[in-house]
Structure 1
Amino acid sequence: MEQTLIKPDDYITLWGIIVVWAAVSIFLEQRFSWASKISGAIIALIGAIILSNTGVIPTDSPVYDAIWSFIIPLAIPLLLFHVNFKRIWQESGKMLIIFLISSIGTVAGTIISFFLLKDHIPYLDKIGAMMSASYVGGGVNFAAMAGKFETPGEMVSATVVADNLMMALYFVVLMTIPTMHFFRKRFNTPHVLEVERNSNNTDGKTLAESFWSRKDISLKDMALSIGTAFFLVMVSFKIAAFFDGIIPSGDNVSFFFNLLNGLFGDNYLVLTTITFIALALFPRYFESINGSQEMGTLLIYLFFVVIGVPASIPLIIQNAPLLLLFVAIIVIINMIVSLGAGKLLKYDLEDILLVSNANIGGPTTAAAMAIAKGWKNLIGPILVVGTIGYIIGNYIGTTLGLWFGTMM
């Protein structure tokens, strides 16, 4: 068990550190131009990496699990209350093609990385199955493949550590790319330009401070925002659990039933769908609520802090330097394929970066990036498109794992 200044069961202190550091990150982003350029999301993430790697906070705690299972579901509807409903479906259809191409990048990266390192890393056929499924879908696919291929526990742990560090580093890269002249000269960036236009001012405020300017908000707004979000989460998760229970899934079940279970039994996909239905049925109600965007974004900043926590550099050096190289090759090839295909098909840079993020980190990290960057019309679409990765990830992982197994 790791020795840290703050123990994993010191819940109030850990919650305090997460909330305080998220608040500091938002303050710095809105107060200083250097921090605005880096973004509060990266400040939150890097701060957490430093705290966990210097032994101040543990890399694992029930507090972090609560952020994933409780805070993120609550943030999603809050952030969708004021999106342009018509544009969601237009953007989703357009994003799906580049998302699937990005998934091909993951498959290609896994195959290349496997052949380069199969003689140096034990159980790489099983790890390849886990990582290809995870880097198309998310953590749920990783766990499913680890169980299916019966990967030894120590290799699962080492792979998780490599994955966490890689994801944190890649998130920083993706957040930085839209600020670089090289990429902005070669790709269309309409959402970046829109944020900059809306934030164009002469009073010395940072871009983030201008975007998040003070708004009229009442106690009733706060109560309705949080109450409605809780209601949508509660109803959606119950519906998803119901369908997950009655629709069969697993290795011995047909593709059709697995697909149905993936569509109707997934918490996030049902939550996003139910929220969209509510937005369509009661548009005036949601337009009348102020502050939901701000509250949802604050919750997402807690998530940014937690992303950085498990990225343990000493554990990588001790246990998994080659595994870090394995996942790095997959991520680099995914990025090259995504950017290359996106350029060829004339996709916006924002769409390309978000689908690559959704592949590697899952729809929640991609939505978090869209929120941090102020690309509010892309939050809904990337949640919809990214969730498709959960459905196809297990099929990709299973196929590659069985193929790789014949060569080990």
Structure 2
Amino acid sequence: MNTLIAPDNNWALLSILFLSSFLAIYLEQTYKWAAKLTGAIITLGIAVLLTNFRVIPTSAPVFDDIVWGYAVPLAIPLLLLDANVMKIWRETGKLLLVFLIGAAGTFVGALVGTALLSDLVEGLPGVAAMMTGSYIGGGVNFTAIADAFHVSGGLISATTVADNLNMAVYLMILLGIASNSFFKKHYTHPHIDRVENAGVDKAGETLAASYWERHDISLKDIAASMAYAAVVVTVSKLIAAFFAGVIPDNNGLLKMLNTFFGSQYVWITNVSMVFASLFEDKAKEMHGAKEVGTWLIYLFYFVIGVPASIIMIIQNAPLLFVFCFILVVFNMLFCFVFGKLLRIDLEDIILASNANIGGPTTAAGMAISLGWTRLVGPCMLVGTFGYVIGTWLGIIIGSILGA
């Protein structure tokens, strides 16, 4: 497919990549409507538009080599600096509980969806593994599992298209639930009440900007954060290569262990989590890590929107969309049914489900945009915990299904 910018025009594509992430962040922090959408969804949407109007190609070395090869691995250690396991358990309360319930729903949904559609979609066990990881943690888990099971590029692209469309529908549903009278009648909602009493229209335009206000960041902070991230990735790749070499793969169990312990993303997660838990004070000193890590994830959101060709959706993605939607339905059923039984607040349920399906970035963005500022930190923590367990559970279900 001919495009205005050729796949090998690295600097033009890099400029669009960076400008798109800036525009999304600017809009999110300036306009109320954009804050409700969240910058992550805007970034993804810009990529979809540019692809379908044939401004940029659906694949290019700059996307694969820079974003998939470097930005995503570096983002994980930076975003996991808050992943003190004891702190997550101590401070998130019922939000973590309903998050884990939602993760179980995703897991069950993957099994049900595979049973229903495996005869119709070739390679569905690999998709089930990727989407389990993604819908428990986030896009970085999707990448890790795709790499672990060597899922074909065409299937990854088609699944990404289906996931993007599914995410747009899902987030609109969640936003609708937050203001729906039926759910407000049957669930407690103290944060919604607090925002309504404070006057959401007055505060709404600046909520995202207030959360991402300027912080004290020095050149040394940025250097320390990037050095830390690079060292974690390097050490993790070495550990993964060691285990991949010493664990045989001549039967099902050993193959699963080889895949799990031989994944660099599993070890990036493990090493980052250990550092954040054992050296919390040092982790807190790395000012700017959250900002840089979040910006790198914005680049990732752009790149996952790039393959979202409308033609490809029509040709390849309808059944994959149905499969992704099955996972979302089970996640939401588990969250809302058990949340009601356990008398958990509506806001906690919505953000826990969002942290599962969309990851900490979209969950925090939704909390900020709706004015639930007291839940931003907790939903970031549980979403980050999803990064920790998502790859593990995705690889487990992929191995169970024979991916």
TM range (shorter): 0.7 to 0.9
CA distance in 2, matches of 1:195, 1:290: 30
CA distance in 1, matches of 2:261, 2:198: 38
Does 1:397 pair with 2:401?
yes
The answer (yes or no) to whether the contact 1:279–1:286 under 8 Å persists in 2 is yes
Q: 2:281 aligns with which of 279, 284, 291?
A: 284
Question: Which amino acid is the alignment partner of residue 223 of structure 1?
Answer: A
Q: In structure 2, do the counterparts of structure 1 residues 270 and 330 end up closer, same or farther at CA, with 3 Å as the change threshold?
A: same
Deviation at 1:248, TM superposition (A): 2.0
Q: In structure 2, do the counterparts of structure 1 residues 146 and 293 end up closer, same or farther at CA, with 3 Å as the change threshold?
A: closer
Q: In structure 2, do the counterparts of structure 1 residues 130 and 383 end up closer, same or farther at CA, with 3 Å as the change threshold?
A: closer
Instruction: Tell me the TM-score normalised to structure 2 length.
Output: 0.79
Deviation sequence 1:96-131 (CA, Å, 0-9, x none): 4532332221222233345xxx6xxxxx36344443
Deviates more, 1:308-317 or 1:45-54: 308-317
CA distance in 2, matches of 1:233, 1:144: 16
Report the counterpart of residue 338 of structure 1 in structure 2: 331
Question: Which amino acid is the alignment partner of residue 304 of structure 1?
Answer: Y
Deviation at 1:200, TM superposition (A): 8.4
The answer (yes or no) to whether the contact 2:225–2:286 under 8 Å persists in 1 is yes
The answer (yes or no) to whether the contact 2:83–2:385 under 8 Å persists in 1 is no
Does 1:134 pair with 2:136?
no
Question: Which amino acid is the alignment partner of residue 260 of structure 1?
Answer: L
The answer (yes or no) to whether the contact 2:47–2:306 under 8 Å persists in 1 is yes
The answer (yes or no) to whether the contact 2:84–2:276 under 8 Å persists in 1 is no
Q: 3-state SS of the aligned residue for 1:258?
A: helix
How does 1:201-212 map onto structure 2 within 5 Å? 205-212=205-212
Q: In structure 2, do the counterparts of structure 1 residues 226 and 370 end up closer, same or farther at CA, with 3 Å as the change threshold?
A: farther
Does 1:353 pair with 2:354?
yes
Q: In structure 2, do the counterparts of structure 1 residues 371 and 16 end up closer, same or farther at CA, with 3 Å as the change threshold?
A: farther
How many residues are paired up? Answer: 367
Q: 3-state SS of the aligned residue for 1:311?
A: coil
Report the counterpart of residue 248 of structure 2 in structure 1: 248
Deviation at 1:386, TM superposition (A): 0.8
CA distance in 2, matches of 1:272, 1:197: 41
Question: Which amino acid is the alignment partner of residue 53 of structure 1?
Answer: N
Report the counterpart of residue 18 of structure 1 in structure 2: 17
Question: Which amino acid is the alignment partner of residue 34 of structure 1?
Answer: W
Report the counterpart of residue 165 of structure 1 in structure 2: 161
Question: Which amino acid is the alignment partner of residue 247 of structure 1?
Answer: I
Does 1:34 pair with 2:33?
yes
Structure 2 segments unaligned to the other structure (5+ residues):
134-141, 367-375
The answer (yes or no) to whether the contact 1:129–1:145 under 8 Å persists in 2 is no
CA distance in 1, matches of 2:190, 2:241: 39
CA distance in 2, matches of 1:199, 1:214: 25
How does 1:323-334 map onto structure 2 within 5 Å? 323-334=316-327
Report the counterpart of residue 405 of structure 1 in structure 2: none
CA distance in 2, matches of 1:193, 1:296: 33
CA distance in 2, matches of 1:299, 1:204: 26
Report the counterpart of residue 261 of structure 1 in structure 2: 258
Name the % identity: 34
Q: In structure 2, do the counterparts of structure 1 residues 392 and 82 end up closer, same or farther at CA, with 3 Å as the change threshold?
A: closer
CA distance in 1, matches of 2:330, 2:317: 20
Deviation at 1:141, TM superposition (A): 5.4
Q: 3-state SS of the aligned residue for 1:136?
A: helix
CA distance in 2, matches of 1:341, 1:299: 31
Report the counterpart of residue 304 of structure 1 in structure 2: 301
Deviation at 1:203, TM superposition (A): 7.0
Report the counterpart of residue 68 of structure 2 in structure 1: 68
Deviation at 1:83, TM superposition (A): 4.7
Question: Which amino acid is the alignment partner of residue 165 of structure 2?
Answer: L
CA distance in 1, matches of 2:164, 2:263: 25
Q: In structure 2, do the counterparts of structure 1 residues 216 and 206 end up closer, same or farther at CA, with 3 Å as the change threshold?
A: same
The answer (yes or no) to whether the contact 1:188–1:349 under 8 Å persists in 2 is no
Deviation sequence 1:160-212 (CA, Å, 0-9, x none): 44322211112223444443223963667799999999998967752110111
Q: CA RMSD in A?
A: 3.4
